[in-house]
Amino acid sequence: MNVVVVGTGYVGLVTGACFAEMGHMVTCVDVDEFKIKKLREGIIPIYEPGLESIVLRNIQENRLNFVTHLSDALSEASVVFIAVGTPPGEDGSADLQHVLSVAREIGQYLTEYKVIVTKSTVPVGTADKVRTAISETLKSRSLQITFDVASNPEFLKEGAAVEDFMKPDRIVIGADSERAEEVLRELYSDFCRNHDRIIMMGVRDAEMTKYTANAMLATKISFMNEVANLCDLLDVDVENVRLGIGSDSRIGYSFIYPGCGYGGSCFPKDVRALIHTSRETGYQSNILEAVHQRNEDQKHVLARKVIKRFGDNLSGLTFALWGLSFKPGTDDMREAPSVTLLHDLIAAGAKVNAYDPEAIEVAERELPRAWFESGSLVLVSHQYEALEKADALILVTEWKPFRHPDFKAMQHIMKQSIVFDGRNLYDPESLKSKGYEYFGIGRH
Beta bridge partners of 79: 3, 115
pTM of the model: 0.92
User: Which of helix, strand or coil describes residue 349?
Assistant: coil
Tens of pLDDT, residue by residue over 405-417, are 999 999 999 999 9
User: Which of helix, strand or coil describes residue 246?
Assistant: helix
* φ/ψ of residue 392, rounded to 5: -165, 155
**Percent of the chain with pLDDT strictly greater than 70:** 100
Per-residue model confidence (pLDDT) at position 329 = 92
Q: Which residues are part of the catalytic machinery? A: 266
User: What length is written for the chain?
Assistant: 444
Tens of pLDDT, residue by residue over 373-393, are 999 999 999 999 999 999 999
User: Which of helix, strand or coil describes residue 266?
Assistant: coil
Q: Which helix (H) or strand (E) holds 13?
A: helix 10-21
75/102 Cα distance (integer angstroms): 15
Give whole-number Cα distances, 246 to 242, 250, 269, in Å: 6, 8, 27
Is residue 268 predicted with pLDDT exceeding 90? yes
Is residue 90 predicted with pLDDT exceeding 80? no
